[in-house]
Amino acid sequence: MKYKAILFDMDGTVLDTLRDLNAAANRALAEFGFAPMSLEETRRRIGNGSRRLLELSVPAGTSEETIDRLLAWYLPYYNAHANDSTAPYPGVTELLAALREAGRPLAVVSNKPDRTVKELAAIHFPDLLEIAVGENEAGGVRRKPWPDTLLTAAEALHVEAGDCLYVGDSEVDVLTAARAGMDCASVLWGFRSREELEAAGAEMLFSTPQELNGFLLNSEN
């Protein structure tokens, strides 16, 4: 196999988190008197972290102070309800198990808060991941598209960044992988369309976990 380690995005790549993100964001919006958003609106706005999701969901001109308060309400609520409806995409658990059996270390990297990422990874993928890394700006790990989370995972796995593959579902993942010096595999079962991913520069696209697995297990140096 060409890659010495495989890093996965979480939302839209290994876990279908859309309904829980939508429900939590809408509860927060309602608390502050803002209109709710649809599942489709949430899908389009996911990918740049919790604050950006909320910024895109309130009227233009909403003050930074209000967004700060909204985020402070949203984060603990979402963490408490992050697994109400969330589940792995069909075939993902089998993909991770096959890669582990092939001897490849695996990680999940996300713009979710670090605590939530670690909790969801432990619930859904026990014994399949070496590490789960989320946004931790206070600890110096910035959210994507900064490369910090990917580089943190690669360092923890003791693998050079250039020997890792990053698997994601969004334009943010394509850009982050490039900044980290990693190849990127883009999946089509997540939150972005083929057209959106290709417009972002995605070159390796996969329709199913089985297709991605076949590519990885047959890739050579």
The active-site residue, picked from 9, 11, 20, 114, is 9
Task: Characterise 49 by phi-psi region: left (phi > 0), alpha (psi -120 to 50), beta (else).
Answer: left
Nearest partner of 121 among 195, 4, 23, 14, judged by Cα:
14
What is the rounded distance in angstroms from the CA atom of residue 131 to the CA atom of residue 145? Answer: 19
What is the rounded distance in angstroms from the CA atom of residue 22 to the CA atom of residue 38? Answer: 7
What is the rounded distance in angstroms from the CA atom of residue 183 to the CA atom of residue 16? Answer: 23
Among this protein's residues, is 9 annotated catalytic?
A: yes
Which positions are catalytic? 9
